[in-house]
Amino acid sequence: GQQLNQSPQSMFIQEGEDVSMNCTSSSIFNTWLWYKQEPGEGPVLLIALYKAGELTSNGRLTAQFGITRKDSFLNISASIPSDVGIYFCAGLLRGEAAGNKLTFGGGTRVLVKP
């Protein structure tokens, strides 16, 4: 199925740095979701976005729903070691036949700089 283009695929962070990742699509979505997945676990929902242009924060995380409805970004401010993990964006098209079927980005792997 279609997939969202998520970038970067991976990044190294140094404690205290701000990091940013984004997702783009050729399709319009009605909802954008951002998840974090740690090794051996399922994804955990971080932020949900429902309106074009919406900017939402969850602690040090900030995400925005692009005005065109075809993109979204996630920022992590003042990163800390526990921010390590894989971050996924997911888009939701209302009206999908199977109901609430998500389209996922390829993931951004956040690693700590040695």
Partner 1 sequence: GAVVSQHPSRVICKSGTSVKIECRSLDFQATTMFWYRQFPKQSLMLMATSNEGSKATYEQGVEKDKFLINHASLTLSTLTVTSAHPEDSSFYICSAPLYTEAFFGQGTRLTVV
- What Å distances lie between residue 36 and 46, 53, 67, 68, 82, CA to CA? 7, 22, 24, 24, 11
Q: Which of 94, 95, 113, 114 binds partner 1 (CB under 8 A)?
A: 94
CB of 16 vs partner 1, minimal distance in Å: 27
51 binds partner 1 per the rule CB under 8 A: no
3-class SS string, 51-100: CCCCEEEECCEEEEECCCCCEEEEEECCCCHHHCEEEEEEEECCCCCCCC
Does 105 participate in binding partner 1 (rule CB under 8 A)? yes
Q: Does 85 bind partner 1 (CB under 8 A)?
A: no
Asked whether position 101 contacts partner 1 by CB under 8 A, the answer is yes
* Residues making contact with partner 1 (CB under 8 A): 1, 3, 30-31, 33, 35, 40-45, 48, 50, 88, 90, 92, 94, 98-102, 104-107, 109
